[in-house]
Amino acid sequence: MKVISPECELIDSYFQHNQIEEQIERCGRVCYKSEAKIAPGSANSFIKAIISRGHESVLEMAQIHLELKLSSDTPLQRFLENIPRFFTVDRVDPEDKGCILLSANPRAFRDAARAFPSLKLVKAVMRVLTEHFPRLFEDLAPKHGWPQQDGVTVRLVPVQDMEGMTPLVFRRHRTVLFNIITNRAVTHELVRHRIASYLQESQRYCRYSEDKFGSEVTFVEPCFYEKGSPEYQIWQEAMELTEAKYLELLKTSSPQAARNVLPNSCKTEIMVHATIEEWQHIIRLRTSAAADPAMQQTMRLVLGQLQTAFPQFFPKNSAA
């Protein structure tokens, strides 16, 4: 039995280097704790397998930003009339109404291509995305490819261009990825937040009797009880008994069966991908005095890293 404290890591290097596919793989492998399989080029086969199995929630863990130049508003109006899910759209140049910033995750773009393949804006966007990210989008292309669309110009927005956007536009489009290690009670509440994307360590597939887990179950130390107190001793004895019963069940059962005895105190790892605007909302709610103390403990760790990385949006001595 191992006992740890909550921790978190803001992962921004993939975004800074436009490594969308690598970021998706890094997040996806948390589910099965197979990060050791990450190697140069391994994202290619990982993404291909994810798409072939229809597990497209994994594709939500990155964001693509596009600048659209439109000769008329009609393509955008047709696009917005269909109420596409999980897209953020803004006019970024007040002097050029035809200049649009469009952002979404790869899954949202794939959903749009399947649902509205005849829309002019969708065809123009998919042509560019398939060219730049073939592994993410080539399976959706028509036989002769996505045709060029007159009156619509699409380009990927470089990272450096994001920095020059107004604060309002930046916070709505810029996403931030966190790797959070906490207990399962916290993640049960965290995943209720919308709009955000999550991938979590799977007790269904992770077999904690294996060497890579130290052949033991890891628990998160409760913030409610002082170490050495009678209450803490009761908690510790309960966790020791739980671990013993879980490991015993694994001798004759699968992890998905044996996990039924595991408690909320179990350590879990979760990837959380959300815009700065959504992180502000999460922090505001989950660091307040009304929040669960364990949630407050974890989210204050997140807030500290957000304050360092984005001080203009998360000022010191402020929850958001």
Give catalytic residues, as residue numbers. Answer: 286
Q: Which residues of 217-228 are buried (b: 16+ CB within 10 A; e: fewer)?
A: bbbbbbbeeeee
Return phi, psi of residue 87, to 5°. -105, 145
What single-letter amino acid sits at 239? M
Spatial separation of the C-alpha atoms in residues 196 and 286, rounded to whole Å = 15
Helices 120-132 & 106-115 angle (0-180, nearest 10): 140
Dihedral angle, C-alpha 293, 294, 299, 305, nearest 10 °: 120
Alpha carbons 34 and 196: distance in angstroms, whole number? 23
**Which among 118, 143, 128 has a CA at the least distance from the CA of 64?**
128
Q: Distance of alpha carbon 304 from its chain centroid, rounded?
A: 19
